[in-house]
A and B are shown apart, each in its own frame.
Chain A
Amino acid sequence: MSNPGITTITAKPAPEQTQSCWSCGTMRAVHFCEACGKVQPPAPVDYFTFFALPRKLNLDVAALDKDFYELSRKLHPDLNAQAGSQEQQWSLQQSSLLNDAHRILKDPIKRTEYLLKLEGVELEEQSKTATEQARSTGEIKKQIVPPELLAEVFDLNMQLEELRTQKKMGEDDPALIEEIGNQKHDLEEKQEALLRELESRWKIWDGMIQREHNGQPVSEEERRQERDKMVDVLNRRNYIRNLVRDVTEVLES
């Protein structure tokens, strides 16, 4: 990318991916032809490349949105409903790729997870699925409680169990509900703090990518370390997110 330091977004084709338009043959074209407006066949690209973005994490979401709307006006199937069937098919594929890319990149967590996946990291997501699987098989879900949360989580789980039992009996203890509500609030604040922590890791990552771009080699070790740090933040955040979800579930049941 030609703009060091800040992330710029452009819907314009990146030179290395351009070729001639299938229809008019003239202009360089990535998603649609700038000369005749025809939708081009989709290329199997990652989401960053789709938006002609470097693989950096600090991203101007307003600019991304702007590009998203501009591209939607070209690629959406509604606006290509009069085109030939092949072009309609491309419009459907391009448009879904556009929506998928936008959906993932605009969200800070999904964006980070996606980049890590591109970097070859298999995320150990402590997902709801795992919880459910554990529940259905009767096993205790194996997950690593972040050490700084151990005591807190232990207390919270006890209280949640108590509330569940109360609810089953048709009772409600306002004091207990308030206490759990407070803890939920604390957890949400922790979740926010972890997002800030993640953002600070982005800066380091993006700086590393920029260095690499400027011709300074980045060691595989450094790359791995940076990845691992982000994975760690994500895992801790996911853990808290799941906890918040469980608490909400019990409170609203």
Chain B
Amino acid sequence: MTTDRIVGIDLGTTNSLVAFMQGESPVVIPGDDGSNLVPSVVALDENNQPVIGNAARKHLTETPERAVYSIKRLMGRGIDDVQQELKFFPFRLAEDLQPGEVIRIKLGEKTFTPPEISALILRQLKRNAERFFGAPVTKAVITVPAYFNDAQRQATKDAGRIAGLEVLRLVNEPTAASLAYGLDKKQNGIVAVYDLGGGTFDISILKLHDGIFEVISTNGDTHLGGDDIDNLLITIALDDTLGDLGLDLRRNAEAVQAIRNAVIEAKIALSSQTSVKLDVKLPGGKRYLREITREQFEQLIQPVIDRTVGPCKQALKDAGLKPEQIDEVVLVGGSTRIPKVRALVKELFHRKPHTDLNPDEVVALGAAVQANILGGGSEATENMLLLDVTPLSLGIEVAGGVTDKIILRNSTIPASATQFYTTQIDGQANVAIHVLQGERELAKDCRSLARFDLKGIPAMAAGMARIEVKFLIDANGILHVSAREQRSGKEAEIQVQPSYGLTDEQVESMILDSFDSAEEDFRQRQVIEARNEADTILAALEKGKKSPAWGHLTTDEKKKIAKMEKALTAVKTEDDYQAIRKAIDALNQGTTRLAELMMDTAVSTALKGKTMDEADMGEGPTAPHPMAKAEFE
């Protein structure tokens, strides 16, 4: 049961979270620093060991060449796509990148593909969940922006696999948010989810009816979010320092990062204050000071947030709905905290958006709901079903470089289309097919997904072969292709050359922990935790022996306790955590009366049945728990 626990993961541009269904409601699992959010930052420490989350953040300013953030922007992207990103993000590409190769990012001396970096974040979340449950976690639902294309989805799935997670489903972020919302509200109606996160924007319009969450239309921009706002402010600061001080900091990663931290803080503050002061220490002892009023800020970001208008209008148009027909607008993503964004949403949909949900957590919570549904459901999710759509049309290139759309955007998935091909010359054995994703008419303007070669077509006269090619988009939004020559009934062999993305073999070689070593890691952590717990209870017992209560025990009881103490001390040095736990449990049982006696009578009645380590409130257990580790200075 516990080994089959499926978690829901929001793998965000800025922050990532892991959640699960606790009883009838989803909850976020905190990390060992007590925080629900794991910053999507990865760094390599001086020993080349990966550091993730809050711990990695200090590396952004201290050793920026060994740290990376917003990696989601590069998922499933080719080198040509990311030129724009490189202007604004301190991504350091590997020097030896070959054309057509998956991008690799330098961290110190090492290089990593975006799925590998995402996998490090996922592994951290996996560990947080394992610590919480005290059991291995191997299955997950991961959310992706609704407007992610096939390559970006595939890259996310690869990241899961590299992290040692079986990705049971990729769920669209706004759809996941609607699940969390719907679980809460249990109302029928039309809901629009406006999701402006750190790096991506999605708009989804859903019909909620009798537990079915049916996406009617979706639209978005996978490169639009809080990052873009930060970059505007950073650019201004860099211009200021260059202009006023003659100090060119564009190549100074540490200084840029210090500015970035300051502008993010300022941006956040401006959601509740009408003005903030920027104060950044610059190299050379100078400080960058600037006051920003909310009015100035709103003017500055207007062009960025205006980019959400087009997708919203298109989504409404595709859904065949007027703004008045939307019953509720749900806000998701940290950037929706900006008052100007809320005002824009109100204007677009002619109603005040729903802001009861925590915009940072709602996607992860929804992922947990979906994980629960996939796991067979529970009372809370009974009758719940998600019907999602493909955000982009699927097409194939036909004569003249034109895209022939075979599955239109906003089709409910899974969806399929069948195309027939024939040969042009006698005895032709191969047919090449170019698969595209996008809305544009010319193939060159669409996203190239893959080039397929149908091979092994039996020798026939030109035009005689009739090859049936089936394109199927699964519930993850990922394309599968199969082909069959109809006259011979022969399954044509398909060689997939993904235009962007890792091959199966590459992913295989990147897997962080093969299943065995994941088990081993888990076992070792369990041993350490069990030993800590044994030490705690043994120390508590020593204390108990010195207490007056010890004198009230019978000789027989004392003997029994001594025997169990010896057993635990002996087994503690061995590597069998289950044996250690057993011994702990035994000693706990055996010392129940001692624990009771140690309390004053009133408390003792209240705590009847409590065991030694629970009763000794001074030194709590170190068993897995959701609390932060205490720190002492």
The reply to whether chain A is a binding partner of chain B is yes
Interface residues of A (CB under 8 A from B): 69, 72-73, 76-79, 81-82, 92-93, 95-97, 99-100, 102-103, 128-129, 132-133, 136-137
Of the 9-residue stretches B31-39, B335-343, B370-378, which lies at the interface with chain A?
B370-378
Could you say which of A77, A103, A129, A133 contacts B415, with CB atoms under 8 Å apart? A103
A192 to chain B, nearest CB (A): 15
Query: Is B411 in contact with A103, judged by CB distance below 8 angstroms?
Result: yes
* B472 at interface by CB-CB < 8 Å: yes
Are A92 and B401 in contact, CB atoms less than 8 angstroms apart? no
A92 lies within 8 A of B415 (CB)? no
Query: Among A72, A78, A102, which residue has its beta carbon within 8 angstroms of that of B370?
Result: A78
CB distance from A32 to the nearest CB of B (A): 14
Q: Are A78 and B416 in contact (CB under 8 A)?
A: no
Judged by a CB distance under 8 angstroms, whether B229 is at the interface is: no
- Whether the Cβ atoms of A136 and B400 lie closer than 8 Å is yes
Q: Is the C-beta of B319 less than 8 angstroms from some C-beta in chain A? A: no
- What residues on B are CB-neighbors of A77 within 8 Å? 414, 474-475
> Shortest CB–CB separation between residue A101 and chain B, in angstroms?
11
Residues of A within 8 A of B344 (CB): none
CA A77 to CA B374, docked complex, whole Å: 9
Is B402 part of the contact surface with A, judged by Cβ < 8 Å? yes
CA distance A136 to B377 in the complex (A): 53
Identity of the chain B residue whose Cβ is nearest the Cβ of A76 in the assembled complex: B385
Asked if B399 and A79 sit within 8 Å, CB to CB, the answer is no
Question: Is B441 in contact with chain A by the CB < 8 A criterion?
Answer: yes
Chain B residues with CB under 8 A of A99 = 411-415
Please pick, from A78, A95, A132, the residue contacting B402 in the complex, using a CB distance under 8 A.
Answer: A132
Name the A residues within 8 Å of B412 (CB-CB): 99, 102-103
Instruction: Kindly supply a per-residue 1/0 record for chain B positions 157-170, scoring 1 wherever the CB is within 8 Å of any chain A CB and 0 otherwise.
Output: 00000000000110
- Contacting A at CB under 8 A, from B320-376, are 370, 373-376
Q: With A78-B370, A133-B399 as given contacts, are A96 and B414 in contact (CB-CB < 8 Å)?
A: yes
Interface centre among A99, A103, A128, by most chain B C-beta atoms within 10 angstroms, is: A99
Distance in angstroms between the alpha carbons of A82 and B400 in the assembled complex: 46
Give which listed residue, A78, A92, A95, contacts B386 with CB less than 8 A. A78
Which chain A residues border B401 with CB–CB below 8 Å? 136
Taking a contact as CB atoms closer than 8 A, the residue among B373, B442, B472, B473 that contacts A79 in the complex is B373
Q: Select one of B402, B413, B475 contacting A136, CB under 8 A.
A: B402
Please tell me if B404 contacts chain A, counting CB pairs below 8 Å. Answer: yes
Q: A81 and B472 in contact (CB under 8 A), knowing A92-B414, A97-B416, A136-B401? A: no
Once A132-B441, A133-B400 are accepted as A-B contacts, the answer to whether A76 and B387 lie under 8 Å apart by CB is: yes
What would 24 A/B residue contacts be, using CB atoms closer than 8 Å?
A69-B212, A72-B212, A77-B414, A77-B474, A77-B475, A78-B169, A81-B169, A82-B376, A93-B472, A95-B414, A95-B475, A96-B414, A96-B415, A96-B472, A96-B473, A99-B412, A99-B415, A103-B415, A129-B404, A132-B441, A133-B400, A136-B401, A136-B402, A137-B400
Which of B404, B416, B442, B473 gathers the greatest number of chain A CB atoms within 10 Å? B416
User: Given the complex, which residues of B lie within 8 Å of A82, measured CB to CB?
Assistant: 374-376
Is B398 an interface residue when CB atoms closer than 8 A count as contact? yes
- A137: chain B residues at CB < 8 Å are 400
In Å, the complex CA distance between A173 and B285 comes to: 59
**Structural contact, A129 and B472, CB atoms closer than 8 A:** no
Pairwise interchain contact B385-A96, C-beta atoms closer than 8 A: no
- Expressed in whole angstroms, the Cα–Cα distance for A93 and B418 within the complex equals 13
Among B375, B402, B413, B473, max chain A CB count under 10 A is at: B402
A92 to B411, CA, bound (A): 15
In the complex, the 6 A-B pairs of residues with the closest C-beta atoms, listed nearest first: A96-B414, A81-B374, A136-B400, A96-B416, A99-B412, A132-B402
Assuming the contacts A99-B415, A103-B415, asked whether A92 and B373 have C-beta atoms less than 8 A apart, the reply is: no
A218 to B321, CA, bound (A): 43
The answer for the CA separation of A73 and B212 in the assembled complex, in Å, is 9
CB-based contact B475/A78 at 8 Å: yes
* Residues in A whose Cβ lies below 8 Å from that of B375: 81-82
Residues B454-474 near A (CB distance < 8 A): 472-474
Known contacts A95-B414, A96-B472; A72 and B441 CB within 8 A of each other: no
Q: Taking CB as reference atom, which chain A residue is nearest B410?
A: A103
Nearest to A96 among chain B residues (CB) is B414
Q: How far is the CB of A251 from chain B (nearest CB, A)?
A: 14
How far is A73 from B211 in the complex, measured between Cα atoms in Å? 10
Which residue of A is nearest B4, CB measured?
A82
A15 to B101, CA, bound (A): 55
Minimum Cβ distance to chain B for residue A103 (Å): 6
A72 to B212, CA, bound (A): 10
Contacts of B398 on A, CB cut-off 8 Å?
Answer: 129, 133
Nearest A residue (CB) for B408: A103
Cβ-closest chain B residue relative to A134:
B400
How far in angstroms is the closest Cβ of chain A from B210? 8
Known: A72-B385, A77-B414, A99-B413. A92 touches B472 (CB 8 A): yes
Contacts of B414 in A (CB 8 A): 77, 92, 95-96, 99
Docked Cα-Cα span, A73 to B415, in Å, equals 16
Give the complex CA separation of A156 and B364 in angstroms: 53
Residues of chain A lying within 8 A (CB to CB) of residue B169: 78, 81
> Closest chain A residue to B211 by CB distance?
A73
Measured in the bound complex, the distance between the Cα atoms of B370 and A95 in whole Å is: 18
Q: Which of B370, B400, B401 has the most CB of A within 10 A?
A: B400
Having A76-B385, A129-B398, one finds 8 other A-B pairs with CB under 8 Å, namely: A72-B212, A72-B385, A73-B385, A77-B475, A78-B373, A81-B168, A81-B374, A93-B472
Give the residues from 376 to 400 in chain B that come closer than 8 angstroms, CB to CB, to chain A: 376-377, 385-387, 398-400
Interface centre among A77, A102, A128 (most CB of B within 10 A): A77
Return chain B residues, CB-CB under 8 Å to A81: 168-169, 374-376
Which residue of chain A has its CB nearest to the CB of B480? A92
CB distance from A57 to the nearest CB of B (A): 22
Q: How far is the CB of B182 from chain A (nearest CB, A)?
A: 15
**CB-defined contacts of B212 to chain A, threshold 8 Å:** 69, 72-73
Hey, what's the 0/1 contact readout for B78-116 against A, CB within 8 Å counting as 1? 000000000000000000000000000000000000000
Q: Which residues of B contact A100 (CB under 8 A)?
A: 415-417
Query: Which residues on A sit within 8 Å (CB–CB) of B473?
Result: 96
A21–B474 CA distance with the chains assembled, in angstroms: 25
The CA of A82 and the CA of B4, in the complex, are separated in Å by 11
Residues of B near A79 (CB, < 8 A) are 373, 377, 385
- Closest chain-A Cβ to B422's Cβ sits at a distance in Å of 15
**A28 CB → nearest B CB, Å:** 25
B314 to chain A, nearest CB (A): 12
* Residues on the B chain within 8 Å of A72, using CB: 212, 385, 387
Q: Bound complex: CA of A78 vs CA of B375, how far in Å?
A: 9
CB neighbours (8 Å) of B474 from chain A are 77, 92
List of B residues within 8 angstroms of A78 by Cβ: 169, 370, 373-374, 385-386, 475
* Nearest residue, chain A, Cβ from B398: A129
Bound CA–CA A167/B92 (angstroms): 43
Task: Give the distance in Å from the alpha carbon of A96 to the alpha carbon of B416 in the complex.
Answer: 6
B residues in contact with A133, CB < 8 Å: 398-400, 402
- Residues of chain B within 8 A (CB-CB) of A129 are 398, 402, 404
Q: B384 — nearest CB in chain A belongs to which residue?
A: A78
| Measured CA separation A69–B402 after assembly (Å) | 36
Give the distance in Å from the alpha carbon of A121 to the alpha carbon of B477 in the complex.
32
Min CB distance B158 to A, Å, is 20
In Å, the complex CA distance between A209 and B189 comes to: 39
